[in-house]
Amino acid sequence: MANMELQASQGAIRGIASGVFFFAFFSTAWALLGVAGLDSGAGSFPWATVLAIVIGVALAATGVWLIVVARRLPETSNPEEEAYWRGTGKWFGIIFATEGILIGLNFAICNAINRAELAIPITVIIVGAHFLPLAAVFRMRMYYLVGALLIVVGVVAILLPAGARLSAHQAQPQWMLAGFGAALILWAASAALIEQARRLLASVASASS
């Protein structure tokens, strides 16, 4: 785990594809939350909903393509490397389960103290925090930045009012910032992952030519 550099292999590309899949789903969910925050009545911004879904589908399709391409790559010849990538699934499961438990506790506590409006911003902070160990597990330095940015978005969202007028709409600023902020960060992270996969695949192509 000391070497954080990814090498072109099936495990590396599958790891990137997994990240793209998760970003596709969760960025869409966060974007739709942001749309809901634009108008508590909902349904007033259909173009934003369509755009969020289109981006999510495009990212998911890219993840499928990466999985297909990964099958054409050789497994790493380093036994230690092979064992490492086989073990990432276990650590991902532990981190993801811990995140889910913390989010559940967060909603329960916020509801119990009658501060339900804080649950969404705090969730963003928890999601950001879970990227920090993932950075080491998947050898992705970028995840440290993703996690830090999400934590900042969550903290700033806590400081915003729960409700405000936006033109003719009754908006929810906390939801808007949490949703759109998280979605934009995950979209940018997806683009960075896809570019990283492109460079790894290009290195394989150049080595075999």
pLDDT higher at 198 or 11: 198
Whether the predicted pLDDT of 46 surpasses 90 = no
Confidence of residue 90 (pLDDT cuts 50, 70, 90): confident
Q: What is the pLDDT of residue 2?
A: 35
Q: What percent of the chain has pLDDT over 70?
A: 80
The 10s digit of each residue's pLDDT in 149-203 is 999 999 999 999 876 655 566 678 899 999 999 999 999 999 999 998 888 888 7
- How far is residue 79's CA from residue 22's CA, in Å, rounded to a whole number? 28
**Counting every residue, how long is the chain?**
209
For residues 92 and 134, the answer to whether their CB atoms sit within 8 Å is yes
Tokens of 94: 């532990």
Whether the predicted pLDDT of 81 surpasses 50 = yes
What burial class does residue 183 get, using C-beta atoms within 10 Å of its C-beta: 0-12 exposed, 13-18 middle, 19+ buried? Answer: buried
pLDDT higher at 69 or 78: 69
Q: What is the DSSP string of 63-118?
A: HHHHHHHHTTSPPPS-HHHHHHHHHHHHHHHHHHHHHHHHHHHHHHHHHHTT-GGG
Q: What is the three-class DSSP state of 169? A: strand
Q: What is the three-class DSSP state of 133? A: helix
Half-sphere exposure of 161 (CA within 13 A, CB side): 6
Q: What is the pLDDT of residue 146?
A: 96
